[in-house]
Amino acid sequence: MNPDLEVSVEQEVAQVKMKRPHVVVLGAGASRAVCPHGDKNGRVLPLMCDLTEVVGLKALLTRWGINPNQNFEEIFSDLYERGEKDKVERVQETVESYFEQLELPDEPAIYDHLVLSLRETDLIATFNWDPLLTQAFLRNGQAGLGLPKLAFLHGNVGVGYCEKDRVTGLAGRLCPRCRRRYTRTQLLYPIKLKNYSDNPFIVNEWRQLNWSLRNAFMITVFGYSAPRTDQEAIGAMRSAWGEKSQRVLEQTAFITVQTEEEVMQNWDAFIHTHHYEVQASFYDSWIANHPRRTGEAYINQYLEAKFIDDNPVPREMDFEQLWAWFGQFKEAEAAA
């Protein structure tokens, strides 16, 4: 093969030429994929369809005469709108208590591989309440690599906010400016009152996502099915992405258990003709096969029409081995 038409792994690693962000949007299915058999202590990562049972609300709702098999957000909205303050608080406390206890396993998991496989120019925006992404981000700070930005679109039990200084940080820690403790972000909102513009923390998180989507070369949607109750969120993302007719080169990727037909139905507004791909596993994704060089691989394959080789994230390494493996990217990134 003509060497001018192919790019080796070594050549890809040495390239740092994409300046636009890769945006990753996480839903509950991503956290379930990270811990398919439960977290470090065996706790199940809930999906919206099984949340009432997993977090321990099913029996309580039944005692209150509420069908626990309804959509959880609709249950919460009904209680809120009826002014049942005590029940609303009980539901909030139960949900928050369960999510606070969730922990990543001690060995590297998908979220560890995800945060290590993106750069500072990239963004991970999550709808999830669990703290697993923040845990992965913190423990991989030792790798000596620039890690992606994070945005928490629906709040998070591991994240707090200082309204005075408009600074985001870890829940329970002190704001570095005013030294006041961060206020933990709100998780539950009645469906009809999901007015993100009223919450300064949420406004800031969405501002990050909107800027990144407008400038992105690729979106990866991981475990997020675009549910009916999130149409305001989908609308905001669609507005930032713009008309798909103007996205003739950008690529949209999906890591999901949904069929290709379901993906197309839910995400048609984000897909220009054939510029999409659907995988069932994170490890089949563009991110896992071209870590920290998704943009460069994108340029090489889609814009320059070259043949490229995969450089897959090793799945069986411990943290020390994993960080050493990712060391291959440091020299090129430091010189960029």
pLDDT at 210: 95
- Mean pLDDT, rounded, for 261-280: 90
Say if residue 148 is in the same domain as residue 279: yes
- Mean pLDDT, rounded, for 101-120: 98
Q: Is residue 177 part of a domain?
A: no
Say if residue 309 is in the same domain as residue 208: yes
Q: Is residue 289 part of a domain?
A: yes
Q: Alpha helices of 44-172 — where are they, by DSSP H?
A: 51-54, 58-63, 72-81, 85-100, 110-116, 132-139
pLDDT at 248: 85
CATH code of 133's domain: 3.40.50
Say if residue 136 is in the same domain as residue 194: yes
Q: What is the per-residue pLDDT across 137-179, written as a single tens digit (0 to 9) for each? A: 999 999 999 999 999 999 999 999 998 998 898 888 899 999 9
Say if residue 62 is in the same domain as residue 130: no
Longest dimension (CA), the chain: 71
Say if residue 96 is in the same domain as residue 114: no
- Closest to 102 (Cα-Cα) out of 150, 140, 60, 136: 136
Say if residue 197 is exposed, middle or buried (CB neighbours under 10 Å; 0-12, 13-18, 19+).
Answer: exposed
pLDDT higher than threshold 80 for residue 232: no
- Mean pLDDT, rounded, for 258-280: 90
pLDDT at 235: 86
Q: Is residue 96 part of a domain?
A: yes
Say if residue 196 is in the same domain as residue 88: no
pLDDT higher than threshold 60 for residue 193: no
For 33, the token pair is 């994929």
- Mean pLDDT, rounded, for 41-68: 95
pLDDT at 274: 84
Say if residue 23 is in the same domain as residue 93: no
Mean pLDDT lowest among 52-56, 181-185, 293-297 = 181-185
- Closest to 223 (Cα-Cα) out of 62, 100, 47: 47
Say if residue 85 is in the same domain as residue 197: no
Q: How far apart are CA 127 and CA 272, in angstroms?
A: 24
Q: Is residue 93 part of a domain?
A: yes
Say if residue 89 is in the same domain as residue 215: no
pLDDT at 191: 65
Q: Is residue 294 part of a domain?
A: yes
Structural domains in the chain (count): 2
Tell me the pairing of strands 159-162 and 307-308: unpaired
Residue where a domain stops, chosen among 100, 125, 141: 100
Residue where a domain stops, chosen among 80, 100, 120: 100
- Mean pLDDT, rounded, for 18-43: 97
Residues 6+ apart with CB under 8 A from 334: none
Q: Is residue 68 part of a domain?
A: yes
Residues 6+ apart with CB under 8 A from 173: 160, 181, 182
Q: How far apart are CA 233 and CA 238, in angstroms?
A: 9
Q: Is residue 312 part of a domain?
A: yes
Residue 286 structural domain: 3-41+108-154+189-335
Say if residue 60 is in the same domain as residue 117: no
Say if residue 113 is in the same domain as residue 55: no
pLDDT higher than threshold 70 for residue 194: no
pLDDT at 73: 85
**Which has the higher per-residue pLDDT, 193 or 326?**
326
Q: Is residue 174 part of a domain?
A: no
Residue where a domain stops, chosen among 100, 133, 168: 100
Say if residue 243 is in the same domain as residue 284: yes
pLDDT at 195: 61
